[in-house]
Amino acid sequence: MVAARRIGLTGGIASGKSSVGRLLAARGLPLLDADVYAREALAPGSTGAQAVLERYGAGIRAPGGEIDRAALGRIVFDDGAERRWLEQLLHPVVRACFKAKLQELAAEPVVVLVVPLLFEAGLENLCSEVWLVDCDETQQLQRLMARDRLGEADARARIAAQWPLARKRQLADVVLNNRGGPEQLAAEVEQTQAWIRQP
């Protein structure tokens, strides 16, 4: 019997993880996304949302009752201690969600876990292999500034909050090159997808 494969898909912020995730999902692979679980952990009325509101006040609440993620981001990316506090709040919830979903999908031969902070949060032990979406640091900065409409200083602060891509490259089993355009990335995924063997 072939062992189940649990692919940890990671990379730096704005490196192209979501694009690769969509390409893999389009090929029929189940996809579990840490960002989705982190958002759920801060949903209105949740324990996480209550803790955030108690720490930062009602000014962090958006008009619809949600946590204002942009405002929260400005706080935690400007202050390492606050970022660590938020990570200690969210990471256990995200890990528990992954474990529960992986149990539900135990019969699936391949499952993809999209985890931006895979190494930082120590979640690589949930995976049988790690795929890194890679680009150069200049591209990463430019893509982040364009995507999130950030100034250079804010974008650099968000990149600095994660392990550098150079460090992650050394730990990855597969490195997907996202230095070109969408077609090149799709070709990279197709080539890598070819050696996924279904039991």
Pair 36, 42: CB distance under 8 Å? no
Query: Can you give the residue ranges of every domain in the chain?
Result: 1-30+110-199, 36-104
Name the fold adopted by 1-30+110-199. Rossmann fold (3.40.50)
pTM for the full predicted model: 0.90
Q: How many CB atoms lie within 10 A of CB 181?
A: 8
pLDDT at residue 1, as a whole number: 40
Strand order in the sheet with 31-33: 31-33, 110-114, 5-11, 129-134, 174-177
What would you measure as the largest C-alpha separation in the chain, in angstroms?
54
178, 140 in Cβ contact below 8 A? no
Tokens 């019997």 -> residue = 1
Q: What's the pLDDT at 48?
A: 95
Residue 191 pLDDT: 84
What does the pLDDT read at residue 98?
Answer: 96
Query: What was the pLDDT predicted at 93?
Result: 94
Give the count of beta carbons closer than 10 Å to the beta carbon of residue 170: 8
* Beta-bridge partner residues of 112: 7, 31
Do the Cβ atoms of 7 and 98 come closer than 8 Å? no
CA 167/CA 183 separation, integer angstroms: 26
CA distance 93 to 37: 8
Q: Which residue ranges of the chain lie beneath pLDDT 70?
A: 1-3, 193-199
Q: Who contacts 77 (Cβ-Cβ below 8 Å, separation ≥6)? A: 83, 154, 157, 158, 161
Enumerate the β-bridge partners of residue 130: 8
